[in-house]
Amino acid sequence: MAKGYVVGNLTVLDVEGYKPYAAAATAAQKQYGGTALVRGGRCEIVEGEARMRQVVIEFESYEAAKTYFFSPEYQAARKLRFGISIGDLVVVEGA
């Protein structure tokens, strides 16, 4: 079965303010069986446009990734990110 991924491309505007979101999102990720493959770290934009914080979370399936994203736990965490970051998140099926 193909894996599912939540992929984020973010700009954090308030590093300290982002920490409660990161903690709550990580707790939800673990609850729903996600594994962070990429979460921040060194980044260099080598082509096109992107933001400086990249996140890739792997799940057992596309459906599991969607379940995490739309879960009450992640939706509550997500609200903590509003106003302190800008970004795009997608749920994608992969190998």
pLDDT for the residue 94:
93
Please tell me the distance from the alpha carbon of residue 41 to that of residue 18, in angstroms, as a whole number: 15
For 28, residues 6+ apart whose C-beta sits below 8 A from its C-beta are 68, 71, 73, 74, 77
pLDDT for the residue 49:
87
Please tell me the distance from the alpha carbon of residue 68 to that of residue 75, in angstroms, as a whole number: 9
pLDDT for the residue 61:
97
pTM: 0.91
In the chain, the largest separation of any two C-alpha atoms, in whole Å, equals 39
pLDDT for the residue 8:
95
pLDDT for the residue 89:
95
pLDDT lower than 70: segments of the chain: none
Do the beta carbons of residue 69 and residue 49 sit within 8 Å?
no
DSSP 84: T
pLDDT for the residue 41:
87
